[in-house]
Amino acid sequence: MTFGPIPIIVAVSGHRDLVDGELSAIRQALRGEFSSLRKRYPHSRLQIFNGLAEGADWLAAEIALECQLELVAVLPLPQTEYEKDFSTPEALERFRLLLSKASRIQEAPFNQAYAGSSTRDWHYEALGIYLAQNAQRLYALWDGNTIAPLPGGTADVVQKSLHGITSEDNLLAEPETCQVRHLCCNRKKNPDAYSSQNATQWRPHIDVAADDYWDEIFHSIDDFNKAAIKIDGANCREVAQSRKWLVGGDSYPPVIEIDLQAHAFADALARTKQKRRHRMLWFLSLLIFLSVFFQQVHLGPDMQWYWLAMHIGLGLSAFGGYLLFFSGTHNSETQYMDWRALAEGLRVQTFWRAAGIQESASNYYLSSQRDELNWIRYAMRNVAATSTAFNPSMNLSWIKERWLKDQEEFFLKTAPTKQARRKQWAWISQSLFGIGAITTAALLVSPLLNLAPTISSWSALAAAVIFLMAAVCRNYASLMAYEEDANRYKKMGVLFGRTVQLLEQYEKTNEVIASRKLVLAVGKEALAENGEWLLLHRQRKFEIPT
């Protein structure tokens, strides 16, 4: 199977002492869930983060592999230490077998800010935090008991998933949550938690709106992956060009490969959609203009049925084109803006990784948005979670040339262009309005000139058409937000230029920590700027005049 570059990440947490008589039904429930997940999102790699503890983790890992999910082993401790938790040689052998089938093995990052009662508990709690923060769906094989939850236990992980965890890096951001799918399971310590009718059943969802929200997140990622597969097969040169623009030649830090490739797909797709958007904008504007023109001809100088028919036909064609490209939840205009935003977020994330900054750029991107834009952050986070390599060193010269100077040049070069286009379209609109006003004034004095009625009718039509053209040009300039973009681009160009100067000073004195802080700071500014761009252009979507 061919999958796109951005995975969908789920996780599992559950009891080690599941009741033996329920294991077969639990397997069946998991098989149905994972098979459904695979069918609903066929273009995405489905990764299941799993601590591979005995019991529920093992069952979920085995069924996930059967259903073609990718097993990612996230261990709470180094493997040699973790293996002390397995009491029998058979259990240890089964653990190692599952571990050998994992596509990736990693250790959950340890964070002392969430310390528990003992050193070992801290590591299990760190695993729970990692699962809650990085998965979009948690499968909880759980008895539902919330009394005195153990650090890193299923109840603890469920609570962290449902309520979120405050980010240490961005304390003002609303905590990110994770969808929880609860499979009702008894355990040997609590064998009567559920009746025979309710045991091994998925607990009914209480919040349907939340389910729709998470489905939208998954579908947005899968739609991106579907488009990425298509462009990789049909127009891979666009992807290669995006890679080249970002990193230049073949010499770049290997740790950025996963982020780089995801950026290249997002950038190539956004550029393709942008070209199509511009063509559609002008094509639909032309159809609307001609439709109104033929309507005015029918109402004015020549009331023939075919003018009305052309008006109706072109109007319907414009409406159909609008529905095809600009309407719907996953319309092409929205995809263009979202994919451009994703590409720019991944640009920052790529260079942060090259600088040895481990955190995901999603922590600072669109953090005030809790709507359909959330999929962009989750996509970036999933890429970051997949790319676990760390770059302890930092090539300041490479980062400065490939990112900072490149962005400085782009913004400072593009800002005057945007301003010039704003003035150009303003001049065209004002000129057309002036011509329309002169034509209208001439019509007012036409009775004094004894002009033929036919000439007056056609002159009135000409005035209406000219005013319409002025309105179309003005609307296009407003839609493109030239003035707002010009002001933002100028500010960002100056900011990147200042960053280059400071980084050159740090480079001379080999101040690595200060350099990383600077790269982190300018990245946050870039993310904030692009977030503003996205929200502005989403508010100025193209609409059919009514």
Question: Tens of pLDDT along 467-494?
Answer: 777 877 777 777 777 788 888 889 999 9
Which comes out higher in pLDDT, residue 115 or 40?
A: 40
What value does the mean pLDDT take over residues 238-247? 92
- What is residue 345's predicted lDDT score, i.e. its pLDDT? 95
- What is residue 509's predicted lDDT score, i.e. its pLDDT? 86
**For 23-58, what is each residue's pLDDT tens digit?**
999 999 999 999 999 999 999 999 999 999 999 999
Q: How far apart are CA 44 and CA 483, in angstroms?
A: 39
What is the residue type of 164? G
Q: How far apart are CA 536 and CA 381, in angstroms?
A: 24
User: DSSP class of residue 174?
Assistant: P
SS3 of residue 193 by DSSP: coil
**For 437-447, what is each residue's pLDDT tens digit?**
877 777 666 66
- What is residue 369's predicted lDDT score, i.e. its pLDDT? 63
- What is residue 543's predicted lDDT score, i.e. its pLDDT? 64
- What is residue 118's predicted lDDT score, i.e. its pLDDT? 55
Q: Which long-range contacts (CB under 8 A, 24 or more apart) does 146-154 make?
A: 150/121, 150/124, 151/116, 151/117, 151/121, 151/122, 151/124, 151/125, 152/76, 152/116, 152/121, 152/123, 152/124, 152/125, 152/126, 152/127, 152/128, 153/124, 153/128, 154/13, 154/14, 154/15, 154/56
